[in-house]
Amino acid sequence: MRLPRLLVAAPGSGHGKTMVTTGVMAALSDRGLEVSPHKVGPDYIDPGYHSAACGRAGRNLDPYLQGETRVPSLLVHAALNPRMADIAVIEGVMGLFDGAIGTGGFSSSAHVARLVQAPVVLVVDCAAVARSVGAIVHGFSRFDDTVRVAGVILNNVGSPRHEAEARHGVAETGVPVLGVIPRLPAVVVPSRHLGLIPVAERQPAAMEAVAALSLMAQKYLDLDALIELAGTAPDLDVQPWDPAVEVGQSGARVARAPRIAVAGGAAFSFGYAETSELLIAAGAEVVGFDPLHDESLPAGVCGLLIGGGFPQIHASDLSANASLRAEIRKFADDGGAISAECAGLLYLGRELDGAPMCGVLPLTARMGPRLTLGYRTAVALSDNLLCRQGQRVNGHEFHRTQVDHGADGSGVAAWAWQGGDGQPATEGLARGAVHASYLHVHWAGYPSIAARFVSQAAAVAW
């Protein structure tokens, strides 16, 4: 497949990757190009801005969560849907060579660049350096001969003299400078403890920020050179990822299509586009609902998928929607299938920061003092809604809340894994047709989960 593409990376976090990537995506879209947006790693928030910039789903590329062999196929699938893309732009994660801890860079931006054969554009924050930028670029371009650092964007440049000095340093490396961005305090995307504020919480301010980033890219970046560089990527000789094929390999379609409702809105804005695609491929009808505003569930649903987000920011409003909370509690009591990740786990509990929640699970939650973050290799502790006992999955945690599971003894922990301190840990709760956990799992890596969930939902359809 012919797909021009490039990956935007940086020496580390905070250099301006998201600002530059979103600006490039928006500027190319404003030119009339169909841009396929991507993000390396498990992050949900940056793809929301990518989607706003491109008018199509922002999708993740993560070898740890999806499997190495699926990454190029997922890229091609995304480029074909909903329309054939003219170019794919991929935002990296952390520093170019930073991946899962202790793996030698597995799942890093460099790893993904190799898998999809994409040239890399390095964004460097020049606030505290000048000619030394050349040494940074030299090191990153020579560190791994299998990764092609083919361009540099100088960010946060303070003056023409500063720019000239930085350019002179980079010139000695032979890597071309493809843009110079001055210090622009007006172009800011607000953030908080878990990163940028999601697009779903900032409309229409988010769209205004994306428009400003487009203008920034048009003014300060050589878009023609970026397009030309993307065109140097070789053809991809892979078949597109196909959810129907994936589900077909992991389980038969159900005879009767169960209706599955997926939570969305400002409080539950975290999700992967491939999840709904897999559910549909497995035979489900997928509908959305917003726990902040919808007073009842969509009619006829027999499965609920409640993913991640920021329920703690909206706890009082979620609590105020008492009719929906009561309906979800009854839905669970009647045997409805519910899969809940992170924010969904908190919402199903008794209370969150003192605000009453659905009361499906015997737990209370509150904001904690530190961030829990990292990849996990987890093992299912029982046959449950999503997995068979002993199934192993790769996932990730990303939260600053803490949960007290209570003492009623009902259900079993959903997962076991080795904690960051090397000690065994259990997490989440599996009880009846409910599966709730902090662990985020990318179902594209484990299509059997979608097939099993749809099958279980169909079995309790009423």
* Pairing label, strands 259-263, 191-192: unpaired
Average pLDDT over residues 119-141: 98
Same domain, residue pair 136 and 178: yes
Residue 209 and residue 22: Cα distance in Å, rounded?
10
Average pLDDT over residues 71-94: 98
Same domain, residue pair 200 and 279: no
Residue 290, in any domain of the structure = yes
Average pLDDT over residues 394-420: 80
Residue 279 and residue 1: Cα distance in Å, rounded?
27
Residue 447 and residue 374: Cα distance in Å, rounded?
22
Answer whether 358's CB lies under 8 Å from 330's CB: no
pLDDT of residue 415: 96
Same domain, residue pair 77 and 222: yes
pLDDT of residue 460: 76
Q: Residue 168's domain spans which residues?
A: 5-230
Residue 163, classed as helix, strand or coil, is helix
Residue 235, in any domain of the structure = no
pLDDT of residue 197: 63
pLDDT of residue 186: 62
Residue 119, in any domain of the structure = yes
pLDDT surpassing 60 at residue 405: yes
Answer whether 41's CB lies under 8 Å from 62's CB: yes
pLDDT of residue 150: 98
pLDDT of residue 194: 41
Confidence of residue 195 (pLDDT cuts 50, 70, 90): very low
pLDDT surpassing 90 at residue 179: yes
Average pLDDT over residues 37-64: 96
112 versus 256: the higher-pLDDT residue is 112
The runs of H, that is alpha helices, within 195-351 are 205-220, 223-230, 243-248, 273-281, 315-320, 322-333, 343-348
Same domain, residue pair 57 and 108: yes
Residue 324 and residue 317: Cα distance in Å, rounded?
12
The runs of H, that is alpha helices, within 70-157 are 70-80, 109-116, 133-142
Tokens coding 321? 């929607």
Confidence of residue 438 (pLDDT cuts 50, 70, 90): very high
pLDDT surpassing 90 at residue 248: no
Domain end (from 205, 230, 255): 230
Residue 238, in any domain of the structure = no
Which amino acid would we find at residue 198?
P
Mean pLDDT of the chain: 92
pLDDT surpassing 80 at residue 257: yes
Average pLDDT over residues 48-77: 97
Which residues, other chains included, contact 188 with Cβ-Cβ below 8 Å and sequence gap of 6+?
Answer: 209
Answer whether 272's CB lies under 8 Å from 62's CB: no
- pLDDT tens readout for residues 134-149: 999 999 999 999 999 9
pLDDT surpassing 90 at residue 173: yes
Residue 427 and residue 237: Cα distance in Å, rounded?
40
Confidence of residue 200 (pLDDT cuts 50, 70, 90): low
Same domain, residue pair 395 and 280: yes
Count the neighbouring beta carbons within 10 Å of the beta carbon of residue 237.
8
Q: How many domains does the chain have?
A: 2
With vertex at residue 183, the alpha carbon angle to CA 180 and CA 189, rounded to the nearest 5 degrees, is: 105
189 versus 295: the higher-pLDDT residue is 295
Average pLDDT over residues 447-455: 96
- pLDDT tens readout for residues 348-373: 999 999 999 999 999 998 988 887 78
Catalytic residues: 342
pLDDT surpassing 50 at residue 159: yes
pLDDT of residue 193: 39
Average pLDDT over residues 28-39: 98
Which residues, other chains included, contact 396 with Cβ-Cβ below 8 Å and sequence gap of 6+?
Answer: 42, 65, 373, 374, 375, 376, 439, 440
Average pLDDT over residues 411-415: 87
Residue 237, in any domain of the structure = no
* Pairing label, strands 424-427, 415-418: antiparallel
Domain end (from 202, 230, 258): 230
Average pLDDT over residues 374-391: 96
pLDDT surpassing 70 at residue 199: no
Residue 347 and residue 429: Cα distance in Å, rounded?
13
Residue 236, in any domain of the structure = no
pLDDT surpassing 90 at residue 196: no
Same domain, residue pair 82 and 213: yes
Same domain, residue pair 35 and 164: yes
- 185-194, 287-296, 297-306, 369-378: least confidently modelled range: 185-194
Same domain, residue pair 17 and 84: yes
pLDDT of residue 192: 38
Compute φ and ψ for 298, nearest 5 degrees.
-55, 150
What percent of the chain stands above pLDDT 70? 93
Same domain, residue pair 349 and 221: no
pLDDT surpassing 50 at residue 79: yes
* Pairing label, strands 337-341, 434-437: parallel
Same domain, residue pair 194 and 274: no
CATH number, domain of 163, equals 3.40.50.300
Same domain, residue pair 284 and 320: yes
pLDDT surpassing 80 at residue 419: no
Strand partners, 392: 379
Confidence of residue 312 (pLDDT cuts 50, 70, 90): confident
Which residues, other chains included, contact 116 with Cβ-Cβ below 8 Å and sequence gap of 6+?
Answer: 5, 7, 61, 71, 72, 75, 90, 236
Answer whether 306's CB lies under 8 Å from 453's CB: no
Give this prediction's pTM. 0.94
pLDDT of residue 230: 98
For residue 21, what is the enclosing H or E element?
helix 17-30
Answer whether 306's CB lies under 8 Å from 292's CB: no
Domain end (from 185, 206, 230): 230
Closest CA to 428 of 346, 368, 310: 346
Tokens coding 62? 């993560």
Residue 184, in any domain of the structure = yes
Same domain, residue pair 118 and 31: yes
